[in-house]
Amino acid sequence: MKRRVVITGLGALTPVGNSAQDSWRAVVEGRSGIGPITRFDASAFASRIAGELKHFDPSQYVDKKELRRYDPFAIYALASAQMALEDAKLAIVPEIAERIGVIIGSGMGGAQTLEEEIRVLASSGPRKISPFGVPAILPNLGAGHVSMRFGAKGPINCTVTACAAGTSAIGEAYRTITYGDADAMITGGVEAAVTPLGVGGFCAMRALSTRNDDPQKASRPFDKGRNGFVIAEGCGILILEELSFALNRGARIYAELVGYGCTSDAYHLAAPPPGHEGAGRSMLAAIRDAGLQTTDIDYINAHGTSTPLNDLYESQAIKTLFGEHTKKLMVSSTKSMTGHLLGGTGGVEAIFTAMALYEGMIPPTINHEDPDEGCDLDYVPNVARKADIQTAMSNSFGFGGVNAVIVMKKFAA
């Protein structure tokens, strides 16, 4: 039998809050974190809006003398991991350090540092490149810094699966515990790609919303007026523990993680296939891994990017897989409030999914004003809904055709 895995700690930095708890309260209240870009002069860009962190002080988590050595994505990971460990009341002492690991996903790693060092190279030559540049750029350094800071000596990894990276990381961390290779894992996703190249690249793909005059209405998953996603930054970290390990130390348990599925579309670099059968297979794989039936699922935190094809095809995949049970499903996209955190989104949305189970509250899909004929599910429009759900799913899909899905249950001893 598989070892049971539970969620005992949550830490987050998002456009709607500088902790998991503040972010959760914001999405339950339906507050948007989208606004004009302030990181750089975006006046020449087609999309000039983003989900940026607000009033975040990195010096609370990293010594001011060392800040220049860290890319923002690593700082976000360190801060969120510290909050998650404190929330779990888990101290990594030498006696257990080798049984605690770290897997944190990131799609783009140190994007800001990469751009800065390229500018230095172009303007001043190679002798001016920082010796801290390469370590700051590497995507695995989010996990690396967390491991070093907190002394976690168990398995370490970094999933780089684009917008599925956070969910991929959580799924692999879950498997690491079920296989017996660790007793606890620090896991989730992080991204800090609100940069000129990050925004400009997605603008060139015509993937971003250009609703610049009304930022808080720009992210509108499943709505007929959607015209692209809103790029965002942040991090979501969860502490996963083997059940007896958690119970023996009296840990609070938010939810139980029971299933993980991952598939490839093998279809296109960026576009999902019609009907999104790859997404359907990943959802089914996660349900089977959990030992459940499709009729057991109560709520889905959808990938729901606010792009024309993703929202339509994800809805089709859900209807195809769940059949008649679709009518009983609640589906919402918290990206309507946070924007799309790329590789960080799976970590943040896993936190929201766990909290939905823990508090019996379904976060809404805001800006759902004009239903699309092809998107006809119960998207919990505009207002959160009280519901005593037992089982929930979180979907993440990424460039390259990767689909990652996790399933959680309300914890019962």
Task: Answer yes or no: 303 catalytic.
Answer: yes
Domain's final residue, options 193, 223, 248: 248
Distances (CA, A) of 259 to 94, 277, 396, 402: 30, 19, 14, 17
Domain annotation covers residue 54: yes
Q: What is the mean pLDDT of residues 359-387?
A: 97
Q: Which DSSP helix (H) or strand (E) runs through 242?
A: strand 234-242
Active-site annotation holder among 158, 203, 276, 303: 303
Q: What is the mean pLDDT of residues 330-347?
A: 98
Domain annotation covers residue 254: no
Tell whether 341 and 288 lie within a shared domain.
yes
Active-site annotation holder among 158, 163, 203, 235: 163
pLDDT of res. 1? 78
Tell whether 71 and 181 lie within a shared domain.
yes
pLDDT of res. 59? 94
Tell whether 312 and 233 lie within a shared domain.
no
Tell whether 225 and 320 lie within a shared domain.
no
pLDDT of res. 107? 97
Tell whether 266 and 187 lie within a shared domain.
no
pLDDT of res. 27? 98
Tell whether 85 and 229 lie within a shared domain.
yes
Task: Answer yes or no: 145 catalytic.
Answer: no
pLDDT of res. 405? 98
What band does 402 get if pLDDT is binned at 50, 70 and 90?
Answer: very high
Q: What is the mean pLDDT of residues 335-349?
A: 98
Domain's final residue, options 226, 248, 270: 248
CB 110 within 8 A of CB 77: no
Task: Answer yes or no: 340 catalytic.
Answer: yes
Range of the domain at 240: 5-248
Q: What is the percentage of the chain residues whose pLDDT exceeds 90?
A: 96
pLDDT digits (tens, 9 = 90+) for 169-210: 999 999 999 999 999 999 999 999 999 999 999 999 999 999
Domain annotation covers residue 270: yes
Exposure pattern of 256-275 as b/e (b: 16+ CB <10 Å)? bbbbbbbbebeeeeeebbee
**Half-sphere CA count of 224, side-chain side, radius 13 A:** 7
Sign, CA dihedral 262-265-266-268, equals: negative
Domain annotation covers residue 353: yes
**CA–CA distance, 80 with 86 (Å, rounded to integer):** 10
pLDDT at 413 over 90: no
Phi, psi of 327 (to 5 degrees): -65, -20
Active-site annotation holder among 158, 340, 368, 375: 340
Domain annotation covers residue 253: no
**CA–CA distance, 360 with 356 (Å, rounded to integer):** 5
Q: Is this prediction's pTM over 0.75? A: yes
CB 137 within 8 A of CB 113: yes
pLDDT at 321 over 90: yes
pLDDT digits (tens, 9 = 90+) for 268-280: 988 888 889 999 9
- Count of structural domains within the chain: 2
